[in-house]
Each structure stands twice: as structure tokens, then as C-alpha cells.
Structure 1
Amino acid sequence: MDRRRMLGIAAGVVSSAVAGELIQAGFNAVLAGQPAEDEWRERVAQYGRDYMAVGANVLQTRLASDLVVMQQQLETPVMWAIAARTLAIYGKTTADPAEAIRWYNLAVTAADRSGDLDTRVWVRGRAAIALAYEGAELSTAQGYADAAIGLAERPSIGRLNALMARAHVAAGRGNVAGAVSADEDARRVFDRVASPDAEVSDTAVPPWRMATFRSMLYARLGVVDAGDAAQAEADRLRPASLARFATHIELHRGLMMARSGDRAGGVAYARKAMAALPADKRSQTLGLLLREVERVGPGCSRDLAVEGATDVESPAPR
């Protein structure tokens, strides 16, 4: 895919309300002098850190502005790799899974254009865990995960994300044995590539974040002991500043309550947790998790498939 076609796809999913501002920002940035590759690399690293604490709407505006400028510098493999990671983060700020997938596919294309194996694996793994954790578009999540795992056997954060995505896809389809097996595979990789406790970034998976992935997995499966243990670990290790991720754990607790038979109590617990988080700190993911709790129905403790998970075929990731 050439740069012009790539930009055409991107333009199709950017709101017309902000198009003028973005174009103006792009021209102003060019007139002021384009950033060097090292500066872009640091900006993207900062976006990874900001993602953990900044609300989706605020971050999306900043990302969109930089992407307009960045696309004018896609002349080296390094810049394609930087663009790929930026596009993947942008996908996480969008309003729904279908829109996110369009950005993830664009990120995959940019990653492949870069030729950088680590970036190719990471982008696919990140897209996979994003969708699977949300219980959304499970077939597409599976495709991203399988592609990431097939690209390289070397342990990496991208491979870890892909394996955890496999676990969540299996849970969403009611495959308990498959979910537990994939979780065990992911934990073996995690033991080799875990990020430091102090590293707070969307590109990192320190112990508290791994515990968050596993908390949601076992809440979906209805395995209370494993879920409780993961939630306690996440709360114990997570930096106090990450209020949004504390809310994730509270929603997991609400889901476990609902799946254990106390649907009304679980829904009330989850709604209270969401209401306590300032609106500018919320994300698409939290909204989807809350709706999952609200959709739990009678007999859910015997039916381990994720309520409301969409398994609609979408454009296949490569």
C-alpha cells in the first residue's frame, strides 16, 4: 500500500469536524520544520505513557494532529515503524471496535512496510489483546493473535499480548480448557519478558497489568479463586495514579458478582465504579466492560461464553 492510499483510508475515518484543524496544524508544523526520527520516537513513547492516564478524547486529538504531520515523513523504514505504533495507539482511542479495527489494519500495513519484525509482532499483538479483552470482534482478534504468534517464536511483549488474546477469545467462546492453556502459555512468556514495575506505558506489560488481563479472563470464566487472586495482585502492584485501571478491576469484580448469581448486585457495583471515575478518564474499553456486566443473564454461571461478545467477521488482518 502506498502512502497516498494509506492517507485516503485514514481520511475516511477522521471526523470532518476536525479535518480543517488537522490540515492547518499539518501545514504549520511543516513550515516550522519537521521533527527528526529521534524526536518522533520520543513522542510516540510519550503517547504510550500518556495512554495510561489521559482520557481517550484528549489523547485522540493530539494523536490525530501528529499523524497528519507524520504522514509527510514516511520515507524510511524507521518512520513507518513509528507510524505503525502511533496508529495502533490511535485505534485504542476510537469510539467502537469496528472503527478501531480500521486503524489497527492501517497500523498492520504500516508495520509491514517498515520491515521491522518487532513492530509487526507488537502491532498485531496489541490489536489482538485490545479486541479480545473487550470481548469484541473475536474472529478478528483471533486473526491478529494468530498472525503475531506465527511471525516469530521469540518471546516478546507482542507475543505475550497475542497469547493473552487467545486466552480471552477462548473464554469468550466458552472454551475453558483452551483459555486456561493459553493463559499458561502467556505466563511462561511473561516470566521472560515482563516489563519493570516502574514502566508505565501502553507498550509495557509489568506484573500489575498482566494481573489485570488475568483478572478479566477469570471473571469471564467464573473462576472465583483465580479471579480474586489476580484482582488482589493488580491492586497491590498497580501505581496509585492509574485510576482508570483501578476501575477495570472494579468492573471485573462486578462481572464476577453477576456471574456468581447476584446480577443486580454486580451491575450496581460496576455502575457505581464507573460513575466514580471522572468522565475525562474513561475509555471505550470501560464502556464495553460495563455493558458486558449489564448483559449477564440468568444461568450465566453455567454458560461461560461472554455475554454480548461480538464474533462478526471483519476485514482480515494480515
Structure 2
Amino acid sequence: MTSTPWPNPFIEQRADPFIQYHNGVYYFIASVPEYDRLEIRQARTIEGLRKAKATVVWRKPDTGPMGELIWAPELHRIDNKWYIYFAAAHTRALDAQGMFRHRMYVLECTDADPLTGTWQEKGQFVTPLDSFALDATTFSHQGKQWYLWAQKDPDIAGNTNLYLAEMATPWSLKGKPVMLSKPEYDWECRGFMVNEGPAVIRHGERLFITYSASATDENYCLGLLWIDQAADPLNPDNWHKSARPVFTTSYPNKQYGPGHNSFTRTPEGKDVLVYHARNYTEIEGDPLYDPGRHTRLKYLEWDTDGMPLFGEPPADNP
């Protein structure tokens, strides 16, 4: 459960990692330490992503709504087009409540190759709440395309909750969002009251959502939601939530704050957990600006009841 066939760290100084597999090619995108651009790598194998050249496909403007702190990009393929979902802050970085002025944005590429194709800004992904929002992902389920993200509700204590809604287009919502989870357990509220970074995986008759909780230091960890695949995902009562975190800091392995994950698969169909973690706890200044969150990989296993077994973050093995 703790072994991994990949070097650890897998890619250094890349937080919020996301790996997409499409037509025999793996694509990698993540937050860069400068928070100023979006770059993509591609390779025929997962291992090949380590040494693959990073191609910058978009840079932030100097001013305006997308002028600061480009966070947590994801690359998705919808209706034979490429989309990048990401969060960005206004150059007036803080709002009246002292929160970052992040909103979610979308880029579109209609060319076959997302590294050489032309990317167009589709603008802000607007939600009913005009508040701090980030970490969007999207997935197809029950014949519909869904949008899943983290956002601050001014009427709910804490920083961010998780919301789900059907999509009308790859850059707009259809219908009213529902809240799937908010910080409520102690392990979700250490340092900050946070549910963020959702990721989706299916197995058997269930659909699962992992998410990250607490501050981005050694308290950062993964929580888990799940639902029967046939159930209505817009009914919050159909969702189950683990009362305990499923992937946490390993002090024996010196892996701290594992979180903001995604999932991919090997060509043979084995599920792979993609995440970031630090190998130290001594952070100078704000953890947000510490570049030591490295991309890491490990196999995701399943128990006999069809529930995921995350194990613990394996030790560094460069």
C-alpha cells in the first residue's frame, strides 16, 4: 500500500497536479510556484511526464481580474474540444473581508493538440454566489456534464464548501447548484475551515469525490464523499461522507500535507492517485508561497466492498 513504481517526488515544485489521459497520450498541468502562467506537458507514458518539456499556453495579464495568483488548473476534453479550468485573483488581491479575490475562469482550444493549438479566453465561470471560488473540475455522469468546485458562502462559517451543478456549456451552469459538503469535522478545520480541490473517480456501482481539507501545511489531508451511480447527484441526502480523513500526513515517511489530488490510470487500467505533499514542516512565511509542494504518485487500491484504500504517502525515493 505504500510502495510506488515512480520516483518520489515525481515532479518537483508542482502543486495541485492534474494528469489527463486521452488517445494514448498523458497530459500534465499544475500550479507553478510563480502562479503566473499555465503550462502543459505531454508524454506517451506517465513516467515520460517527468522529463517532458513544459509548454506555456497562457500567461496572466499584468492587471485586472486574472492578474494574480493563477491556481489549480485542470485540462479537460469535452465535445472534442480542450478546456482549461483555473482560478485567478484580481490584482486588487484582497476583498473587504480579507479574502483573496479569486474567481474561476475557462480557456478553450478547438485544435487537436492542446500544446500547439490556439487557446481562447471564454471568461469567468459565473456561479450564483459572487464570492471567493476556485478548484473547479468537470466530469460526465448519467449522460450529463457536471461542474464541481469550491466556494465561500458568506452566510456559512469557514472558508470554502463544495458545490455541484449541471453544465449548460463548458463555460456556464444549468440549474441551481447544491452544496455537497462543508467543513464540520476537526480534521477539516485545522488552521482554516476548508473543503477544496475536489476530484472524481468511479469504481463498481459508486462514484467518489475526494477533496482537501484544513490549512495547506502538515494539516492538509483528503476527505471522501460517495454516492450510488444510479442515484440523483443533486440530492445531497444521497451522498455519504467519511467521518475520518482518508489520506493524511505520514510522520514516519516524512510526507506532510498530502492533498489536492487528481486521478489517472495506467494503460493496463490500474488507478493512480496524483497528489502533492512536502517533505518538511519548517515553512518560512506563508505556506502558500513555499514552493516545496511536489507532485507525487501512488497506486490507489480497492477493498472487497469496493471502497478505496489510499494507504499512506510513501517516503521520498528519488
State TM-score, norm by structure 1.
0.27
Q: Which has the higher helix share?
A: 1
Structure 2 length normalisation: TM-score?
Answer: 0.27
Relative to total residues, which structure has the larger strand share, 1 or 2?
2
Structure showing greater radius of gyration is 1
